[in-house]
Amino acid sequence: MRTVSGVVTHEVFNQAAPFSGVNLWQANRPLQDALALHAPGADTAALHALGEEAGSAEMQAHARLANTHTPVLHTHDRVGRRVDEVEFHPSYHALMTSALRHGLHGTPWAAGPGSHLQRAAAFMLFTELEPSVLCPVSMSYAVAPALRGNSALQAAWGPKLAATAYDARFMPMQGKTAVTMGMGMTEKQGGSDVRANTTRAEADGQDEWGHRYRLTGHKWFFSAPMCDAFLVLAQAPEGLSCFFLPRWLPSSDNPGTLNAIHVQRLKHKLGNHANASSEVEFHGAAAWRVGEPGRGVTQILAMGALTRLDCALGTAGLMRQALSIALYHTAQRSAFGKRLNEQPLMKNVLADLALESEAATALAMRLAAAVDRTEHGRDEHESGMRRLLTPVAKFWVCKRGSAFGQEAMECLGGNGYVEAAGEGVMARIYREMPLNSIWEGAGNIMALDLLRALRGADMAAALQRELAPSKGAHAALDRTAARVLHQIDHGDALEPQARRLARDVALVLQAALLHRTSPTAVFAAFCDSRLDEPSDVFGTLRAGHDLRAILQRAMPWSA
Ligand SMILES: Cc1cc2nc3c(=O)[nH]c(=O)nc-3n(C[C@H](O)[C@H](O)[C@H](O)COP(=O)(O)OP(=O)(O)OC[C@H]3O[C@@H](n4cnc5c(N)ncnc54)[C@H](O)[C@@H]3O)c2cc1C
Best probe residue, ligand 1, of 139, 311, 439 (max atoms within 8 Å of C-beta): 439
Q: Whose CA is nearest to atom 43 of ligand 1?
A: 444
What does the pLDDT read at residue 301?
87
Query: Is the CB of 439 inside a 6 Å radius of any atom of ligand 1?
Result: yes
Instruction: Tell me the per-residue pLDDT of 513-543, one tens digit each, with 9 for 90 and over.
Output: 999 999 999 999 999 999 999 999 999 999 9
**Residue 434 CB less than 6 A away from ligand 1:** no
Q: What is the pLDDT of residues 113-172, one digit of tens each?
A: 999 999 999 999 999 999 999 999 999 999 988 999 999 999 999 999 999 999 999 999
Distance CA 75, CA 86 (A): 8
> What's the CA-to-centroid distance between 216 and ligand 1, angstroms?
22
Q: Tell me the CA–centroid distance for residue 221 and ligand 1, in Å.
A: 9
Which residue's alpha carbon is nearest to atom 41 within ligand 1? 445
Sequence-ordered list of residues with C-beta below 8 angstroms from that of 402, at least 6 positions apart, any chain: 430, 433, 434, 437
Q: Give the integer Cα–Cα distance in Å for 436 and 432.
A: 8
What span, in angstroms and rounded, lies between the C-alpha atoms of 400 and 529? 15
Question: Could you read off the pLDDT of 110-120 as tens digits, one per residue?
Answer: 999 999 999 99
Q: What is the DSSP letter of 203?
A: E
Q: What percent of the chain has pLDDT over 70?
A: 97
Query: What's the gap in Å between 394 CA and the centre of ligand 1?
Result: 14
Three-state DSSP state, 491: coil
**What pLDDT, in 10s, does the model give residues 37-69?**
999 999 999 999 999 999 999 999 999 999 999
CA of 315 to the centre of ligand 1 (A): 18
Other C-beta atoms within 10 Å of 215: how many? 29
Angle at 18 between CA 13 and CA 20, to 5 degrees: 145
Q: pLDDT class for 491, splitting at 50, 70, 90? A: confident
Cα separation, 280 vs 287, in Å, equals 15
Whether 222 is in the pocket of ligand 1, judged by its Cβ within 6 Å, is yes
pTM listed for this prediction: 0.97
Report pLDDT for 6.
63
For atom 51 of ligand 1, which residue has the closest CA?
439
Does the beta carbon of 252 lie inside 6 Å of ligand 1? Answer: no
Q: Is the minimum distance from the CB of 110 to ligand 1 under 6 angstroms?
A: no
Q: What is the 3-state secondary structure (H, E, C) of 64-109?
A: HHHHHCCCEEEEECCCCCEEEEEECCHHHHHHHHHHHHCCCCCHHH
pLDDT band at 5 (very low <50, low <70, confident <90, very high): low
State residue 165 phi and psi, 5-degree precision: -95, 90
Average pLDDT across the chain, whole number: 95
Q: How far is the CA of 192 from the centre of ligand 1 (A)?
A: 5
* Span 82-105, pLDDT tens digits: 999 999 999 999 999 999 999 999
Compute the distance from residue 129 Cα to the ligand 1 centre, in Å: 26
Indicate whether residue 189 lines ligand 1 (CB < 6 A): no
pLDDT per position as a tens digit, 187-239: 999 999 999 999 999 999 999 999 999 999 999 999 999 999 999 999 999 99
- Residue 465 CA to ligand 1 centre (angstroms): 34
Q: pLDDT category, 3, cuts 50, 70, 90?
A: low
